[in-house]
Amino acid sequence: IKKEILQPASVHPLMPLGAIKQARDGPNLHVMDNDVSKTLQKVNSLSKKSVFSLSDPLSDLLSNPLSDTEKVDVSSSNLNTAIASDPLSAECLSEDVIYTTTGNDNMKLKLSNPWLKLKQRIRQEFCFSGSITFNSSTINEFSGTGVEDGSTSRHLDMYNHRLAALERQQTVSEGTVQLSQTEYEAHVQKLSADLDVAWRQDERVKSLKIVIQLAKLLSDSGYPQFYPSMFVLVTEVLERFADMVYNRLLNKAEEALQAKASATSTTEMMFTNDLQSKLSPPGSKAAAKHIQLKEPFSAGDIPVSARDTCRNWFYKVACIKECLPRIYVEITLLKCYRFLTDSEFPSILAKLGSFIRGLGNPLASLYARNYLLAMGMAVAPESMYSVASSLLQDTLFGLSMLKEKHMQSEYQRLKVAEKTYIHLLSPGIEWLLTYVGKTSTRDVFQMVLQLYRDHSGDCMVLKHIIDSFDATHYAHATLGMSSLIRNATPSCYSNVDVLTSLGKQLLTAYPPEEQRLPLLNDVWKYVSKTQNTLSLLSFVRCTAAWLDLVQQIYSEKEMAVLLSSLANRLQAHTSGGEEVEEEVLLALEGLLTSLINQMSTFGTAALTSDNLLKIVDIFSGSRKIKICQEIMEWFRSYKKTSDAVLINTLFDFGRNVHDSLDCLSPMGETAYRGELLVRFIEKVDFGKDLEQQLNFYVECRAVFCNLDMVKDRLVLCVSGLAVKAYRLVKGKHSKKTATFVKACLAYCHITIPSLSDVFRKLQLLLLCAEISLLNRCLPQTDTFLKAAISLIPELPSHIESRDSVKIHNEERLAGYLLSLLAFLVLTPGHPSHGPFYIVQGLINALPRFAWQNNSGQQLKVQMGVFALLCTLFQRRLPYHISGVESNDTLYGGTAAYQAELLSLIDTCATDAMAMLAAVIQSSNTVAVSAASAAGVAMLTKQTQGKGAVDFLSQIALRIDLTMLSENDSPVLATVMKLLDISRKHRQILTKADNSHLQMSVALLLKRLNQVEVESNALSSHVSVVITQLKSFLDEM
């Protein structure tokens, strides 16, 4: 950017008095052609050449191109003749295309997102309640527009209408109207609706008058608090009007091109031969395809008629007598210059920028510049940087008048404080600075800063300068910037607010190493000095900004100082009984979130600080829970720790998370918070200090008592402690370690019953029983096993899946019972109740569960019991636990032990055969439809056949058939029955089951061939069985 762009003008027209008059008289608008006839001759000559000149009809406010007698004789008595000769009015009469609205989204200009965000911010920030006083001249329809009504659809007498308008202007110009903001918005909406109606009825002049009336609303700044919102309301309608005119001109150009193409096609058709005329229908080639102007088009692509129509629009705009409405309307139609020129936009934009200098009101001129910048960005973005720089120069230059005496008097007249008035300028200045600053160089920044020093010195302007320009422009001189901030004049923003912006910007460009500590000392000394007069919100925001910077380039010590200052200020605020405002809580929440996300910088120093706890205690309810969750979430990724201070801090946060849950809490929320607490428990590790670890788990159980997920994990952790103790002593417990293990088992025994899931209780009881036996705690083992067996009848028969489908529990129970039976092989008998005390209790409990007869799961468990009893009959068991004497050592070989065991085996076999028979009987009693009866029968047969195969396999594997006696005859009878059942259902068994059956029969045959019999009767019985087995193998 050239240096001259930002140099202040020698004489600036922003004066409070007579500015509008000067603008009307024209000397400050740089009139290019004062001679009306020369201007018209030039325009006429250029229109013949279809070339648009930079000479704009708006450059002379007093010269109306339509006043030329050769064009329109408005002084003539024949007003109809004047209307007919008015190009724009004639256009209204001949137009066939009616513009229709399709919604606000289609009407808005395609501006950049920052412009839309600015308008949205103004709507939210500058709302007003109460009544607003306006000059009635700005409300009365069509007063002082200076535009003649050229529409023939209005049936009023033109002379009378004109005289009535003049009289109305004289009689009500000094009156006032009071409206609420809602009423004012309704008034704007009414004008907008009138605009739509007028446009649809082809009343172009009336449409323009309505737009002028809308723009004229912005000339009344008697109530400045509402001016920003008024600006947004009016400009949205103006932007919609810009689309209307642009689309009309575009349609006009396309229609002219279409007419030209049709005429050319008709001419060519006149010279076709007779044969072609006969082959083609008459007029078939005359209809040319619809022509559309494709983007991007140039002014050279536009027909002469469309350019003339476009000029007529600007001629009408030139008739507007008042400065501000004319400026806004021409800016609105800026996009339409595309039909006239391709390269003159920089000059046009600069000219409009110079027009705005004639507006004496700071608010009106600033928002007019904003509007020019926004519309210019949509039309000529490549030319807007220099224009925006000039607009910014004018704005900063004009800020000096805010301190003058006449403005002080104006503040009193308007009953508005100076800082409130400056706050109204904030969005506009921020918009200009943001556009200029985003791509500027350091030289431009220094020029802008110099303009600030010379003409403003206000904190608001300096804050937007710091926010808008890249921090690399001033990061090298942060001490100087800090001094400039401290010496600035506070207004709608305080000096601390500007320091907040500086802290945020320095995150993108760090200050030099040698300036960092002096800068922080300088800033925080000033903040601490002014905190008593500073709002709590500003203090919190400043602390948050500089805390982010401290975590990046400073040490733990500086962070502790800032947290201490914040905690003390909050404590002083709440100690007086004052409530913390919502905005302060939001700022504190953002501060803590940022602190948590960057906590890895200094480890857990911030988390273990008392000041952090004081800050968190400011919150309550869901906000406090959210912060505690974020801290617990961060700790999930942290390494294991034994820091007592950190654990105690997190323990308090976890208590808050847990206590916020109740029976009405959503399941997902409960699961998430439970997961956070579980991860916290897993991260605490005291190493070999097992007693301290157990004490921690005891505290967790007392505090987190309402979450089954947490109690489940606590049981696993404590049982893991017992295993860890076993490993540390290598299986040789001392009195102290044995006592510790018993304490762990007692913890589990107390905690498990508090769980609600019965099946999970069974699993944990079995786990604890195994750990008890590992540590040779036999009484605890029996206790856990008895508790588990007593729960089997309480297990619900069905569970509900996620799809709300009921599923029978027997398959899960069968798998669990097989694991329990495998563990019972190791479990020694009770010294008082005998070797099979636990086993007998299990056998008695199994029938009390609601088994399904046709599923085969009960038979599967019965086979497991049969295998257990057969295994216990062995002289030496297949596996042991070191240091634990099982039943083979305690009772093995005794006659009473073997006799009792054989009795249990016989009973188990008898029950198994009864279960096989019950499978078929259950299929006969089940009420099913005829269509599914075959399927049920097939399922029961398959279940019975598979059960018979499994039982036959158990007999072959578990019973020694080489030594048979007369008492073993029932065994052979059972084998024959099982063989018959297997042969009967062999065809419906799976391939794997048939293979299993074949191997089992072969093993039985091998064992029986080696049998030694004691009597002839038994020998013949064995021979029959062998014959049947051989025959069965031959069949397979």
Each residue of 604-613: pLDDT tens digit?
A: 778 888 888 8
Residue 700: count of CB within 10 angstroms of its CB: 24
Grouping H, G, I as helix, E, B as strand and the rest as coil, residue 611 is helix
745 alpha-carbon distance from chain centroid: 47
Rounded to the nearest integer, the mean pLDDT of the chain is 80
Q: Quick one: pLDDT band at residue 520, thresholds 50, 70, 90?
A: very high
Q: What CA–CA distance (Å, rounded) separates 765 from 613?
A: 40
Contact by Cβ (8 Å): 223, 134: yes
Q: What CA–CA distance (Å, rounded) separates 344 from 59?
A: 14
Amino acid identity at 202: D
Give pLDDT, residue 63. Answer: 35
Tell me the pLDDT tens digit for each residue of 325-369: 999 999 999 999 988 988 889 999 999 999 999 888 999 999 999
Give pLDDT, residue 414. Answer: 84
Two tokens, residue 877: 């068991």
Identify the weakest region by mean pLDDT among 129-143, 422-436, 732-746, 749-763: 129-143
Q: Which residue shows structure tokens 């801090």?
A: 649
Two tokens, residue 639: 């390494």
Grouping H, G, I as helix, E, B as strand and the rest as coil, residue 295 is coil
Identify whether 296 is preceded by a cis peptide bond (ω within 30 of 0): yes
Phi and psi at residue 981, to the nearest 5°: -65, -40
Among 421, 424, 423, 431, CA closest to 391: 431
Percent of the chain with pLDDT strictly greater than 90: 43
Tell me the pLDDT tens digit for each residue of 259-275: 877 776 555 555 444 43
pTM passes above 0.75 = no
Interaxial angle between packed helices 690-703 and 708-728, expressed in degrees from 0 to 180 and rounded to the nearest 10 = 170
Terminal-to-terminal C-alpha distance of the chain: 99
Check residue 408 and give left, alpha or beta (phi > 0: left; psi -120 to 50: alpha): alpha
DSSP secondary structure code for residue 684 in this structure: B
Q: What CA–CA distance (Å, rounded) separates 109 from 236?
A: 9
**What average pLDDT does the segment 903-920 reach?**
88
The residues facing 407 across adjacent strands are none
Does the pLDDT at position 796 exceed 60? yes
The residues facing 132 across adjacent strands are 179
Phi and psi at residue 153, to the nearest 5°: -80, -10
Two tokens, residue 935: 């399927």
Among 434, 438, 522, 435, CA closest to 477: 522
Q: What CA–CA distance (Å, rounded) separates 223 from 212?
A: 20
**What average pLDDT does the segment 620-627 reach?**
91
Contact by Cβ (8 Å): 361, 352: no
Two tokens, residue 291: 């022509």
Residue 75: count of CB within 10 angstroms of its CB: 8
Among 634, 633, 641, 588, CA closest to 611: 588
Q: What CA–CA distance (Å, rounded) separates 963 from 1014?
A: 9
| Beta pairing, strands 806-808 & 798-800 | antiparallel
Contact by Cβ (8 Å): 423, 491: yes
Residue 107: count of CB within 10 angstroms of its CB: 18
The residues facing 131 across adjacent strands are 180
Does the pLDDT at position 726 exceed 70? yes
Q: What CA–CA distance (Å, rounded) separates 603 from 653?
A: 18
* CB-based contacts of 151, cutoff 8 Å, min separation 6: 89, 92, 202, 203, 204, 205, 206
Give pLDDT, residue 966. Answer: 58
Among 326, 311, 307, CA closest to 62: 326
* CB-based contacts of 740, cutoff 8 Å, min separation 6: 690, 691, 694, 725
Q: Quick one: pLDDT band at residue 142, thresholds 50, 70, 90?
A: very low
Does the pLDDT at position 975 exceed 90? no
Angle at 991 (CA atoms; ends 986, 992), nearest 5 degrees: 105
Q: What CA–CA distance (Å, rounded) separates 978 from 996?
A: 14
Give pLDDT, residue 265. Answer: 59
Phi and psi at residue 132, to the nearest 5°: -125, 135
